[in-house]
Structure 1
């Protein structure tokens, strides 16, 4: 019997109005006769069993490479889901619909799970399973509530019946496995699921299916798994399982920068949202800490704590970390085991605490070989303080790997693989872009990145190798295992050594990519390169030393210490010549330097602190577009020296900015920013903010003089712009045309606002102009139907107020302001003023207190309002 019911209330199942609990779906294609499946399944099982409730699994059994009774049990549904993903080899796994291929390390899969957990779901799901022994019938059901709108015509609801652990007395296939987790038994209503399409917020769906129990099923170990999938891109929107899962929550940070001889408490909550009592045992697992540190539950000073959580209640637990006299790091996993789960599954949260010592970060990436002792020994011998972190724990402190925290990162690889993961590349790229320094050592770094069999053979790693090390991988195993330092080099001069036999010798031969990097070591008797150093200069100013060998391959500790000390001295040295206005440190002050300043003001690039130090050519407290203008003046010989103190009083800047709607070209809405009545402007900058219903689709400067420079960029949901010129800009001819597309967010009217407008280096205008326009449909924008002058705000005012007005059609517009004697104190005329809603800021700083009459005429009617100026 099938039932599909759309309910109009949000009362059922107790989660109406709450943020939907996000659960990640792990799917896998596997086979009982697949050897690689047997090798990877323990890692998969560990992922699910330690994170049960964050992630749930459904595993499909394939018809190859050999015998598999779990495939023959349900050939139709297994084929349907495996073919849906286009799987051509087993094992293959999918996390939330993304195909990741063969299961890799537990860390990699955990990272993929956590990335999906951070993506909120608009729908709340709850799955149900029940067995009726009288009728020998299995019932599975799912409830769905759209807490927010679910948009997409290809949304499909799936309901799977799984057996959580299928156990055979003897292996049923040829790979030696006899236990199989999360085995898919049935898909309801089929492997194709049920199309639900888009759902409005507040929609609730309920689906139920009943079927006769199959003789092969263990009724006490069955569960229902529900999930919503977007067939357009295979993304899983959310998932749920019928078996009660533990949820572990905390508002405390799970990464801490610790201090010696201190105490830190971490508080955890475990809510029970089910109808039954839940029994939980908490364990402090995988604990690693210095000898004189301690970690324990506050409740019993133990590493284990038992809890009983009644329905609808929440239990609490606290863990105390006590540091001692010894510097180091601490890691643990809080594992909440469900004592009512026959398989011992549970949920967990990881904690990492570290202690920063000095400005050197040593990352131990040697695969557990303990070769880091050669690096710590060298650092200790030269009395250089350092912070040590194992590579597996780097993910916890990735946000702390900043150039402002660590001047140098030492990336010790040894002879391990992978030398770099995608996450590593992301961390190191961001670090070096901030101007950090990297010492990277290992004999197979180039091979692992560029050889097709290498574990780091992906494009981002290749780009990092080329762009940030400025290196070329020539070949592996050069055949020469002794090195000579390059004469007169800051690192290599006078050093010579052979590689020892700590492991097989396969040192990489290198070359410089752009000739910016310099050789440090040659292979003995040749000029073939075995080590490089790089002083990158502008724009990153990062430095790197790349050695195609590792320190543990050098037997003489004095040589290890010399290489370490000289590398750090190279990083610590500063050879730049600081010339005011020379932003890119090429020894010449030119338009390119001005462009870098404008790009920074337009959110297109970040100025390194070195560049920022020479960018303030106006010798005040800020960097602005005016600094770019002064550089252009210097290049044009209008001024003869920098820094130059700009006299703002001699050049009082002013303009009347205007935003107006230019029309719809069939694809995009066009808004133009213009300026009227401009005076003494050499530079301006600001940003355009717009409604969420609008999506930025490009921009174009018009009327830009040949001697001027302009930039614009999109960042932080706004368009940032900056303009500079060596002479006063004719802003009346300059405009910025911005194109917008409509998003899926529906609004009756949308707005664009000009914010933080700064002329030269005067104070910014927070709200310089505003535009509203009405969208009656995506193709037909409409405008208000009446000429209207809205009330001033503020009123009374001092010295500035904003006048908002509405024009139903393009008109010639006149603004006149009179005092009580009838004298005209200000007047403005606009020809062909566009239709829409606009704002005009009136600055009455030069007028006395009193009552003023503001009149606005469009040629057909006159609107007026009184303004009270109080000083």
Structure 2
């Protein structure tokens, strides 16, 4: 009886088996369109042929001039698809022809998942013959698997030749208006026989099949890397634009290459100037065959300062199956303060005839800040940061040698908190100081701690008061309102729009900015803003001082002294703040911008006529030790400097906290430590774990610095027992930001994991346990409010923390 059942199963026709459902995403993009870069990256995170999600990317000719290489290679087919969909702006995307959704939107993944649930009506398969290459012959078969007859009149079969991955590392240097992209996925190269497709007709009965033959020529040059071409086909209703179904031969040709890249420890560090430093990274080949790799610095996502050099050795190496290889990162620093933001990723060098080898993107971030950096400016919220803040700041004699740029990223601000610097410049543009969804809490909290510690801060926020007070704002938060009213002593009047619209065009409105006569910053300053389309402000808050305000007016708008646009404040902590609701970028005159920045910096750093005072400066306010085995010792060095004008005396060094006994300062009894102005000393700090797991403590330095009598350094480290390799590294969290759910991808072969979701206060919200070897943990986020959370993963004795942003 069993033998008969097997025979019956084998007799089921192939078309009756459940065919695979493919969801087709058609994206319109360009290498010269700035917002297209993040849209394509978002799409890259979603496209997954194994899960049935595929894409076709059409490249457009705008913004002008027309220099997108993929558009220039085939303007006819790219243009025909643009006209068919009526695309007038990019990025743009269509899911199965009818759903017009931005890949960056929160509901994009939901739309795709809904389409995946729809049944397959037409199974589309593709066979190819490469015997006569570079002429490739293909057969496309369309079979009705719906169970009922289908009328194909009014439908077209589109056949697309694509290249899976094209890398053009020097493209941003070759085209003047590049958006920085260097890697392009699923680019449409040809449509067969043309963009008009093949008209279908007649009725297709259940199980009935039609076949179509095509040929194409492999191209040459950088747009046609060897072995990357494949074919996707889809049937589309010509009037409704609905894509009935799609198919591809990408999966037949695709071989996924899996690796784990372990970050160096520590990932973030302050490094000496004019020296060469090294870091070790480990790459593991998780496949069942050897492959050759190199590690590279991703130029499109990294910042290498001028005067620094970066290299990784060895340049190439074959790693046996299941084995690891160490690579050495060498960085040579310059004499000036700088920050290197290095995104490092593996590059696959091996090829395999007849297959598309695809290395899933895996990266690590290494952040290196010059020692004794005293002044910083933050980039990420202002489009003109380099030309308006960074380059002029380096020209100022008071700060230039010790002035570095830092990105507004949570991990960077955690590693190098604002309070460890004497001066910080925070250009926020139209971004609020704090958001109701919690996504900007890391910036807000860091700013408040810096002001309490006496750091001098210049904040340029065009709409900060609007976001805090305006009835139309969604970010009216009491603590931000208190900051403006009580701390700075200013109150919101209105938000002034600095442009007009007519039809579909936007026209800038120029406006005067005046300095307050006799003020140390504003005296004699007169400027007309928004006179250049290269530098402008679209909005500016107009505000006034409160009764009894500590603020002093610096700038005003529109020739109206009561319409304030800038103030300066000295806080009880000794911190100084300059707050403007315009960015200097609104002023086209570069020399005038430099003069304003120079005056702001000079006032912020001034002592205000007080007696000469000491000022303590630490090379770090947070020290994270390497993973250290129990019974062993790790040592790190803290540099203490006196950047003030009086003699600094450190009277006491104390270790506090539950794990204080795990840390030691050998010279803590050698007090007082006396430093004259400009002098510095070094203090060794030891980590000696007595147990497995995470340790934390505080080191308190008590000195005669009137602005910072107690300097607190956070100490942390992990004690381990005989762990040879960090298997927990390489964990991925997708998507991030997330809405209703996220997936945690764990390394292959892990011995079991504990996953915790915590809020910013550390409160445990949810916990999951993953059995050994299970590589995917689904995190349900439906009950989480919008905000920033932490996902803690424990594998063995290792803990890894990943930030997670929940959006609504």
Normalised by the length of structure 2, the TM-score is: 0.41
Report which structure shows greater RCO (CA 8 Å, sep ≥6): 2
Normalised by the length of structure 1, the TM-score is: 0.39
